[in-house]
Amino acid sequence: MKTAIPHSWLLPCLLGGLTLATPTFAQDEDAPYAYPDEERSEQNNSARRQRLQQDEDSPYAYPDEDKPERAQERQRRFEEDTAEDFRRAAEGDEEEKGFERMARLDDPNTGVAFEVIGGAMLLSSPRGQLLGDLLPAVGGRFTWEYGRLLGSEALREALWFDVRYTYAGVREGTALIVGDTKLHYATIAPAYELTFGESSDYGAYAQVGGGFAYEMTTVEIGGKVTPMDGMKLLIQYGVGLRGRTKLSMESNVRLAWRVELMRFRRGYQDDTFVGASLGTAF
């Protein structure tokens, strides 16, 4: 039997092929394979994080800081528009632009005051004295600033009126005959006030009004008393100084006071009152 001998050229070919073959190394099992799309995404995320870090470290530039000229121009136009609105309101054109006065809301006061009156009444004397009989007089009054209802800034505190009561009395005579006279004055008198400056709490005023005077007289002769009474219409007029002094910045309550010279014309007689009043305004 014959045995086939392998060709002698086969062994050199195998060795040459192993030598020229590219070596292949095993990949690390723990490291995942990086696809091209994932590599680009990771690069983009890294660049974005760097930009955010730079933005946080650098201060934010506001639009006004970038363009100060434009910001100044807007501020100037705003101030001009505001001044124009107030000018139109002062001239009475606020209805055309829908401008609403806020004086009623800005001023918490109601314009109401209560005062106690004290002074001297120079009562018209039948004896023909120049100034009349000097008598003490007391009373009280209620004041309301009705000018607040008119919507005019100039008349807001300039127009007001008083509801007033004043009393004066005299008793004189001899041991045989004694006369006792009591006078009660009740009046309503509007007034117009000129304040000492804009938004001032002090001013001078003139006042004219009307009312009535009730006079009650008793004549005592030898112990016998004879009463007499009567009522007359009167006219009240005069001038004075008025103030509403603030007592506290947190409260609406004020100290209301006046100094006045007032006359009461009843029939053919003129009674003159000189005095002052003190009270509270709200």
For 47-65, write each residue's pLDDT tens digit.
677 666 655 555 555 555 5
Q: What percent of the chain has pLDDT over 70?
A: 64
Write down the number of H helices and E strands in the chain.
6, 8
Write down the domain spans for the chain.
70-100, 103-281
pLDDT of 188 strictly over 80: yes
Q: Which residue has the higher pLDDT, 270 or 43?
A: 270
- Classify residue 273 by burial, with Cβ atoms within 10 Å: 0-12, 13-18, 19+: buried
Query: Mean pLDDT of all residues in the chain?
Result: 79
Residues 6 or more apart whose CB falls under 8 angstroms from that of 48 comprise: none
**Which residue spans within 66-176 are E strands per DSSP?**
112-123, 133-144, 159-173
Reported as a pLDDT band with limits 50, 70 and 90, residue 197 is: confident
Over residues 93-113, the mean pLDDT reads 59
What is the model's pLDDT at position 65? 52
Question: How far is Cα 188 from Cα 34, in angstroms, rounded to an integer?
Answer: 101
Closest-CA residue to 124 (of 246, 269, 21, 264): 269
DSSP one-letter code for 48: H
Q: Kindly report which listed range (135-139, 149-153, 239-243) carries the lowest average pLDDT score.
A: 149-153
Fold designation for 103-281: Porin (2.40.160)
Least-confidence region, from 30-44, 191-205, 235-249: 30-44
- Determine the pLDDT at residue 192: 97
- 236/170: higher pLDDT: 236
Q: How confident is the model at residue 158 (pLDDT cuts 50, 70, 90)?
A: very high
Rounded mean pLDDT of 137-145?
97
Rounded Cα distance, 193 and 204, in Å: 6
Residue 258 scores a pLDDT above 80: yes
Give the pLDDT confidence score for residue 1 in this predicted structure. 46
Which pLDDT does position 96 carry in this prediction? 46
pLDDT of residue 151: 76
Give residues with Cβ within 8 angstroms of 193, minimum separation 6.
Answer: 157, 158, 159, 160, 203, 204, 205, 242
165: β partners: 140, 186
Give the predicted TM-score (pTM) of the model: 0.62
| Range 63-76 burial, b when 16+ CB lie within 10 A, else e | eeeeeeeeeeeeee
* Higher-confidence position of 269 and 185: 185
Q: What percent of the chain has pLDDT over 90?
A: 40
Q: What is the pLDDT of residue 168?
A: 96
Instruction: Tell me what the mean pLDDT of segment 32-41 comes to.
Output: 58
Higher pLDDT among residues 84 and 27, named by residue: 84
